[in-house]
Structure 1
Amino acid sequence: MVDFEAAIIGAGVVGLSIARELSKGGKKVLVIDKNKSFGEENSSRNSGVIHAGIYYNEDTLKDKLCAKGNTSLYSYAKEREINFIRCGKLIVACNSREKNQLIKIKENAERNNIKVNLLSKKKNRRIRTKIKC
């Protein structure tokens, strides 16, 4: 019988990341999952977006973890020559209320040291011709 020092339930991105860190520290780790392979639940059903943290309040745990995770994930992919596209994100306002919300998102992002730009209708149409705002 093999003795393990840690058992991780779930072989998604979080479970495998924890198992990796523990095993790097010399621990014998067992990963248990109900599926036939890893990442067959939420980890393989996300939108593929690496969030920058523009929505989170400054100095919250979500803000700190999102910013660290963003930087870490891009570094991890680059170090291992995993292809990715850093394409940015468009958030569109269709009326004055939504425009005010965009301004608040921009201010929040800037407080969190995240670079964002407000685009004019003209510039937006050059980037994405089918989006109307």
Structure 2
Amino acid sequence: MKGNFKWILIGLLAFCVMASFISGIVVLVMKMMKGEAYDISLQAVRDNPMVIEKIGKVIDPSWYVLGNVNINGPEGSATIEYSISGEVSAAKVYVYATRHAGEWTLYKLIVAPENDGNRIIVIDSENNS
């Protein structure tokens, strides 16, 4: 019985180490996704009067971000999606941003409130919104 207990403890320790390692990788990836393009988009969403009306005055983002961020020196692009919630409703945020000469520019920023088919176009550089 003592020998089995030792192997159970070793197994549990190995499991905890692996779980910590995987959790660390997930947190690192999420932190990388929440870069400058994310910060700029979240501020634009929080400042938009139509979003405030539909979602609420206090807008909180979810902890996870999905998408792709590519940075190559001073150039780059970001295509990301994240959720927000407020005291009125919740929504998905879709972002396309580009980086030139080290500066991020939001190209498209769309907020899609839950239970509402109307999307809020915060920024659409194609249509000069």
Q: Is this a same-fold pair by TM over 0.5?
A: no
TM-score range, shorter chain: under 0.3
Give the TM-score of the pair, scaled to structure 1.
0.21
